[in-house]
């Protein structure tokens, strides 16, 4: 019987694209003020560049805007991007399932990769920390403990005071979310969203989740069966 559901954050409970757009808006505001250029024009440009290629976006943006820069300035923009207070919301099905699970007294956990200041700012803005019995921001352990390292799962198990077989893990990234959880005996579920960047990746069976869904409310039926 499943007694706890542990969630990933990005592209599971929130849209990572929404976060990226929020970050770009913050950077556009900085560049607009520092270089006296139109904010909306900068924002349109950076989003267009990102759609073309997600690599070296800030470098390419500054080149496009004819702004001279060095590696320190790029580092400054990256830090501002990662530390900005984002304008983000939960997916609607995330709101629904978190409320449902809390009502039926199933324990809730979270394991999230990403820079600690970034992830903590997301959680603060979303105001969902009180929903969860345990939250592991893996970067706070050290980058070497990002998924698929087993330590975050061990911490969750200990803090929830459950056996692995009593835990369900829900994530979106087939590259890292399920391989360790599967080995530990955790029941794994992949949320495959239309905008998700990992939805069409093919991997060996050990990387695949036990179940794939396209709406988090489908977890209600799965919980009745496992």
Domain spanning 17-83, CATH architecture: Orthogonal Bundle (1.10)
Burial of 56 (0-12, 13-18, 19+ CB in 10 A): exposed
The pLDDT score that the predictor gives to residue 202 is 64
CATH dotted code for 4-15+88-225: 3.40.50.1000
pTM: 0.93
Rg, C-alpha atoms of the chain:
19
pLDDT in tens, the chain (226 residues): 999 999 999 999 999 999 999 999 999 999 999 999 999 999 999 999 999 999 999 999 999 999 999 999 999 999 999 999 999 999 999 999 999 999 999 999 999 999 999 999 999 999 999 999 999 999 999 999 999 999 999 999 999 999 999 999 999 999 999 999 999 999 999 999 987 666 666 666 788 999 999 999 999 999 999 8
Q: Where do you find CATH 1.10.150 in the chain?
A: 17-83
Q: Where do you find CATH 3.40.50.1000 in the chain?
A: 4-15+88-225
Apex 146 CA angle, 2 and 175, nearest 5: 75
The pLDDT score that the predictor gives to residue 17 is 93
The pLDDT score that the predictor gives to residue 111 is 99
Please answer whether residues 29 and 39 qualify as being in contact, where contact means their C-beta atoms are separated by less than 8 angstroms: yes
Helix (H, G, I), strand (E, B) or coil at 192: coil
């Amino acid at each position: 019987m499943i007694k706890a559901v542990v969630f990933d954050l990005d592209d599971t409970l929130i849209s990572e694209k929404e976060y990226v757009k929020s970050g770009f808006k913050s950077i556009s505001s900085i560049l607009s003020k520092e270089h006296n250029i139109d904010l909306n024009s900068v924002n349109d440009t950076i989003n267009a560049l990102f759609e073309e290629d997600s690599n070296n976006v800030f470098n390419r943006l500054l080149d496009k805007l004819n702004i001279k820069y060095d590696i320190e300035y790029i580092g400054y923009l990256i830090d501002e991007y990662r530390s900005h207070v984002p304008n983000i919301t939960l997916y609607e099905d995330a709101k629904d399932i978190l409320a449902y699970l809390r009502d039926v007294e199933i324990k809730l956990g979270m394991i999230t990769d990403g820079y600690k200041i970034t992830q903590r700012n997301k959680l603060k803005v979303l105001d969902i920390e009180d929903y969860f019995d345990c939250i592991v921001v893996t970067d706070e352990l050290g980058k070497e403990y990002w998924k698929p390292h087993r330590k975050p799962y061990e911490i969750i198990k200990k803090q929830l005071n459950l056996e692995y077989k009593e835990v369900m893990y829900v994530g979106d990234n087939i590259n890292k979310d399920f391989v360790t959880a599967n080995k530990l005996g955790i029941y794994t579920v992949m949320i495959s969203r239309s905008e998700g960047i990992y939805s069409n990746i093919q991997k060996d069976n050990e990387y695949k989740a036990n179940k794939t869904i396209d709406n988090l409310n489908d977890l209600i039926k799965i919980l009745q069966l496992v």
